[in-house]
Amino acid sequence: MVSSLKRFLIGRPLKSTELGEQKLNKTKALAILSSDALSSVAYGPEQILLVLITISAVAFWYSVPIAIGVLILLTALILSYRQIIFAYPHGGGAYIVSKTNLGTNPGLVAGGSLLVDYILTVAVSVSAGTDAITSAFPALHEYNVMIAIIFVVLLTLLNLRGVTESASLLAYPVYLFILALFILIGAGLFRIAAGEVPPELHTPVGTPVAGISLFILLRAFASGSSALTGVEAISNAIPNFKSPAPANAAKTLTAMGFLLALLFSGIVYLAYYYGITPLAEVTVVSQIAEETFGRTFMYFFVQGTTALILILAANTGYSAFPLLAVNLAKDKFIPRMFTIRGDRLGYSNGIVILGFASILLIIVFGGHTESLIPLYAVGVFIPFTLSQTGMMVKWLREKPKGWAVKFVINTIGALISFVVTIVFFLTKFAQVWPVLVFLPIIIYLFHRINLHYEAVGDQLRMTTCEPAIPIEGNIIIVPVSGITHVVENSLNYAKSLSPERIIAVYVAFEREDEKRFEEKWNKWQPDVRLVTLHSQYRSIIQPLTKFVDTVEHKANESNYQVTVLIPQFIPKKGWHHFLHNQSSLLIRAFLLYRRNVVVTTVPYHLKK
């Protein structure tokens, strides 16, 4: 039943050889990997205005030069990530680049912050999308958390189904959003060209502004560059592309860069020209759309696709997180289970854990995850800085043909990213300090896990050869609870192994019982030695373990192996298990994990 539900939700299992068919073409990849970056157009320009309004509406013209700054940063990032894609065609992005060129710890800083960042991406963008929906239908507002969780579950299921299938479904809203914004920007520019927008709505660029400071401008710039989160997603996901993967990924990245640049500058320009002031209840995009179209179909089209893409932005996290996790797991910094492909060839453990973690965040923050946005932005700019510094080192070290240009591009990218990171810490410390707490913790955990895996590897490897101690003979201990077919079955099995000795052990809670049982036993199995143990605390495990210890101690002297053979009857139906105490499981766990004995379970299947 569970497995047919699973089939229904995520589809039939796929063969490993079907992996190629699951790869993305450019159109789908653009939809699936850039929803995060593109969706930030919906709030990036607003973030700039929100900082400038703290001075006065006169300062709004600064949004134009700031936007140009953001565009330069975007260009630097896109150019830089193109270089990364070709230099590291197996993907991994910031983590691989930083690790290879700067060393393990910078790599782990980049990897760790991205890992957490993708969880934040999912939580933040789903919450934002839910907010957009419940703003339209206020009656749903009190179910915000529940709705957000349902979206996360749906996205998780979609991603468990596999990338191509989710891409097909997710492509529409992304392209509709792009279309809607292009229409909006086109119509807006047309109105401006036609002189329908009075120019006195905005202050001309260059108007002197009282009280403006470098701090404010940097802060506005940092806020605006939060629109660039998600740019790195493509470089992490190269293995998901159809071959030639790097070329396709690079083209997709460039296309995304152009789209993002056009949409971002269009919105910033319209906001500036329309003289729009950010409001608590109405978003900037919504104001522009209303100004341009009035409350017509187009207005609702823009609003609807915006809400959708905010939710789908989460999908970028679903594409990038599992792949980054695979890279970290291959390097043994996180549990190996992240490298296992599920039934549908996706890295399902990563997908499921991402879903759980973001649901947890949504619940803990009660759906109000806006306060996480700066944290999330800084978590992106740290790996941006590291990966581009890594590329600088690479060019300096390898000096391939034309390296100087490449070096300059990455240096510019690294510098701007670094400045943005510092500005975040300087201007929004109250919101970004947790990064300084959780990054060291995560990196410590990475190292602990790595240490363990290395230690295990060392101990298992046959090269470090301490010869195995030969087993001279076997002693089998059979805990018995009565004179039944189950016990008979187990004793038969034990005898068939012809061990040196079989010892049946009976744990009695009462003295009379002890005697009675011994008598019965001697009649029934006179050839099997019975040891009865008295348990005054009504525990079976304690006296049994003590006894096993004694036997093992003696057995060790003559290189005998002790096996505890547990008779177990298996009920016919699952719910029957509740009706029987699970002492055999407990005994097994206890002995196997704490003592050096082999544990054998002999099943006796009940027929009704």
Q: Which of residues 525-544 bind a copy of itself (CB under 8 A)?
A: 536-539
- Shortest approach of a copy of itself to residue 193 CB, angstroms? 59
The residue (of 173 and 499) whose beta carbon lies closer to a copy of itself is 499
- Shortest approach of a copy of itself to residue 123 CB, angstroms? 23
The residue (of 4 and 459) whose beta carbon lies closer to a copy of itself is 459
Q: Which two tokens stand for residue 537?
A: 């605390």
> Which x/- pattern over 90-119 shows residues binding a copy of itself (rule: CB under 8 A)?
------------------------------
In whole angstroms, give the CA distance from residue 109 to residue 436: 11
Per CB under 8 A, 468 contacts a copy of itself:
yes
The correct pick among 243, 484, 522, 558 for binding a copy of itself (CB under 8 A) is 484
Burial 50-75 (b: 16+ CB within 10 A, else e): bbbeebeebbbbbbbebbebbbebbb
Per CB under 8 A, 165 contacts a copy of itself:
no
The residue (of 189 and 483) whose beta carbon lies closer to a copy of itself is 483
| Amino acid identity for residue 59 in this structure | A
The residue (of 397 and 608) whose beta carbon lies closer to a copy of itself is 608
- Shortest approach of a copy of itself to residue 232 CB, angstroms? 28
Determine the interface stretch with a copy of itself among 208-216, 249-257, 488-496, 545-553 (rule: CB under 8 A).
Answer: 488-496
Per CB under 8 A, 512 contacts a copy of itself:
no
464 half-sphere exposure, CB direction, 13 A CA radius: 7
> Which x/- pattern over 220-259 shows residues binding a copy of itself (rule: CB under 8 A)?
----------------------------------------
Per CB under 8 A, 295 contacts a copy of itself:
no
> Which x/- pattern over 329-368 shows residues binding a copy of itself (rule: CB under 8 A)?
------xxx--xx-x-------------------------
- The 3-class secondary structure across 571-585, one letter per residue, is CCCHHHHHHCCCHHH
The correct pick among 489, 514, 533, 549 for binding a copy of itself (CB under 8 A) is 489
The correct pick among 17, 137, 142, 400 for binding a copy of itself (CB under 8 A) is 17
Q: Which two tokens stand for residue 585?
A: 């499981």
The residue (of 422 and 599) whose beta carbon lies closer to a copy of itself is 599
The residue (of 293 and 506) whose beta carbon lies closer to a copy of itself is 506
The residue (of 431 and 450) whose beta carbon lies closer to a copy of itself is 450
* DSSP letter (8 states) at residue 341: -
In whole angstroms, give the CA distance from residue 179 to residue 353: 34
- Beta pairing partners, 570: 605
The residue (of 210 and 460) whose beta carbon lies closer to a copy of itself is 460
Per CB under 8 A, 191 contacts a copy of itself:
no
Are the beta carbons of 110 and 382 closer than 8 angstroms? yes
- Shortest approach of a copy of itself to residue 576 CB, angstroms? 6
- Shortest approach of a copy of itself to residue 470 CB, angstroms? 7
Longest dimension (CA), the chain: 110
The correct pick among 493, 518, 531, 532 for binding a copy of itself (CB under 8 A) is 493
Per CB under 8 A, 514 contacts a copy of itself:
no
Please state the φ and ψ torsions of residue 377, each to the nearest 5 degrees.
-65, -45
The residue (of 168 and 558) whose beta carbon lies closer to a copy of itself is 558
- Shortest approach of a copy of itself to residue 453 CB, angstroms? 7
The residue (of 173 and 567) whose beta carbon lies closer to a copy of itself is 567
Determine the interface stretch with a copy of itself among 7-15, 199-207, 210-218, 371-379 (rule: CB under 8 A).
Answer: 7-15
In whole angstroms, give the CA distance from residue 588 to residue 566: 8
445 half-sphere exposure, CB direction, 13 A CA radius: 12
Please state the φ and ψ torsions of residue 599, each to the nearest 5 degrees.
-115, 125
Angle at 190 between CA 265 and CA 185, to 5 degrees: 35
Please state the φ and ψ torsions of residue 600, each to the nearest 5 degrees.
-115, 135
The residue (of 401 and 607) whose beta carbon lies closer to a copy of itself is 607
CA-to-CA dists, residue 156 to 39, 77, 182, 383, angstroms: 19, 29, 30, 25
* DSSP letter (8 states) at residue 608: -
* Residue with the two structure tokens 């975007």: 74
Number of residues forming the site for a copy of itself (CB under 8 A) = 72
> Which x/- pattern over 568-597 shows residues binding a copy of itself (rule: CB under 8 A)?
xxxx----x-xxxx------x---xx--xx
The correct pick among 368, 485, 516, 553 for binding a copy of itself (CB under 8 A) is 485
- Shortest approach of a copy of itself to residue 371 CB, angstroms? 24
Per CB under 8 A, 169 contacts a copy of itself:
no
Q: For residue 442, which of 453, 450, 452 has the smallest C-alpha distance?
A: 450
The residue (of 75 and 539) whose beta carbon lies closer to a copy of itself is 539
In whole angstroms, give the CA distance from residue 465 to residue 239: 39
| Amino acid identity for residue 111 in this structure | G
Are the beta carbons of 403 and 460 closer than 8 angstroms? no
Determine the interface stretch with a copy of itself among 14-22, 122-130, 183-191, 314-322 (rule: CB under 8 A).
Answer: 14-22
Q: Which two tokens stand for residue 514?
A: 């002890």
Angle at 369 between CA 367 and CA 370, to 5 degrees: 130
DSSP secondary structure letters along 70-120? HHHHHHHHHHHHHHHHHH-TT--HHHHHHHHHH-HHHHHHHHHHHHHHHHH
The correct pick among 510, 522, 553, 556 for binding a copy of itself (CB under 8 A) is 510
In whole angstroms, give the CA distance from residue 177 to residue 183: 10
Host H or E run for residue 529: strand 529-534
Per CB under 8 A, 556 contacts a copy of itself:
no
Q: Is 414 exposed, middle or buried (0-12, 13-18, 19+ CB in 10 A)?
A: buried
Count other C-beta atoms under 10 Å from residue 363's C-beta. 14
Q: Which of residues 403-462 bind a copy of itself (CB under 8 A)?
A: 449, 452-453, 455-456, 459-462
